Amino acid sequence: MQDIFVFGGGAWGLALAFAFSQKNRVFILSRRKLNLIRYDTSMTQDSSITPYQLEYDDFLSCYKNSNNPLCVIAIASAFLRDFMEKANFLSSVRHDMQVLVASKGIEQGSGAFVNEILEQYFRADSMCYLAGPSFAKEVMKGLPCALVIHSSNENLSKRYAQCFPDFIKTYVQNDVIGAEIAGAYKNVIAIAGGICDGLELGNNAKASLLSRGLVEMARFGAFFGAKQETFLGLSGSGDLFLTSNSTMSRNYRVGFGLANNKSLEQILNELGEVAEGVYSAKSIVQISKKHNLYTPIAFEVQAILEGGSVQSGLKNLLSNKRK
């Protein structure tokens, strides 16, 4: 039986803990005890093995007593660097830790991708990156989905793939930067998708927006050397279409709320969890300005998040007016 340590007690961290607990012994580590309690209250399908809920102080003894353990990081990208800088309990073991990264986003200020942050603490060949369309609530119900594990270390990816339950189909690929960009960018497009639906602009407009959003993501990724086929698969279009079309998506709800005259602060308070697109939009715009990249949807979303007109903002993207 494999021991797996999940860092992060948010919705996605709990969902992954549940999924892995079907075949493995799972330990959840969260900075908030309330999140750990949510595991029992939100789970709708019994797992064969109940995850252990640890405090950080208990981590080292459990980790060192495990046989070749695996780790999962599911911490919001906005808090990832702060977590790593304060995670002194990892210092004695992180040189040989094997990590599956389930965090998505781009760091504000530095514009660093998640892999760039974590490679300051772990070896690049000891990390894998999880991507693909997946709502935490559906994973917690044991509903089928498909995910992609990206890494330069194929053997490690396959090892993680074997740990997933039967209801999650996994694929192994090696486009880490493509998965990173797709995972961050789709949240920004999802905000635009929520705005489009909130303004009742129709199916034609929505199809146009998402198609152009996919092209914009891929163009941005190409600048950083991402593979274009990554954006056409589960990591890109699959995740984009899921996130941009459902009220289960926090980023979609941000856009929908803005279109219905709610303030960003009010929306985020109602969500109670991080909407990564709010942070990623600003970072993408900063990177685009630095490298002179054409990312009109990201620019318009960021302008709206900063208080610009929701109505005119999205309609400008869909207008036939030439600039």
Please give the annotated binding residues for NADPH, written as ranges.
Answer: 12, 32-33, 104, 136, 250, 274, 276
Q: Would you say 211 and 168 are in contact if contact means Cβ atoms under 8 Å apart?
A: no
The one catalytic residue in 23, 169, 186, 315 is 186
Our answer to whether residue 186 is catalytic in this structure is yes
- Annotated binding-site residue numbers for sn-glycerol 3-phosphate: 104, 132, 134, 186, 239, 249-251
Residue for token pair 């199916």: 203
Query: Residue 131 is inside which H or E element, if any?
Result: strand 127-131
d(CA 249, CA 194): 9
Sequence-distant (6+) residues with CB within 8 A of 46 are none
Cα 65 to Cα 56: distance, rounded to the nearest angstrom = 15
CA–CA gap between residue 205 and residue 107 (Å, rounded): 30
Nearest-5° Cα angle at 45, 24 to 248: 105
Binding site members for NAD(+): 8-13, 79, 136, 250
Token pair, residue 312, equals: 């005119």
Task: Please check whether residue 3 is in contact with residue 66, taking contact to mean a CB–CB distance below 8 angstroms.
Answer: yes
CA distance linking residue 225 with residue 16, whole number of Å: 29
Q: List, as one string, the DSSP characters of 236-298.
A: IIIHHHHHTS-TT-HHHHHHHHHHTT--HHHHHHHH-S--HHHHHHHHHHHHHHHHT---HHH
Cβ contact 276:256 at 8 Å: no
Give the 3-state secondary structure of residue 187. Answer: helix
Q: Which residues carry a binding-site annotation?
A: 8-13, 32-33, 79, 104, 132, 134, 136, 186, 239, 249-251, 274, 276
Contact 107, 77 (CB under 8 A): yes
163 Cβ contact list (under 8 Å, min separation 6): 2, 4, 20, 23, 24, 70
Question: Among all residues, which ones are annotated catalytic?
Answer: 186
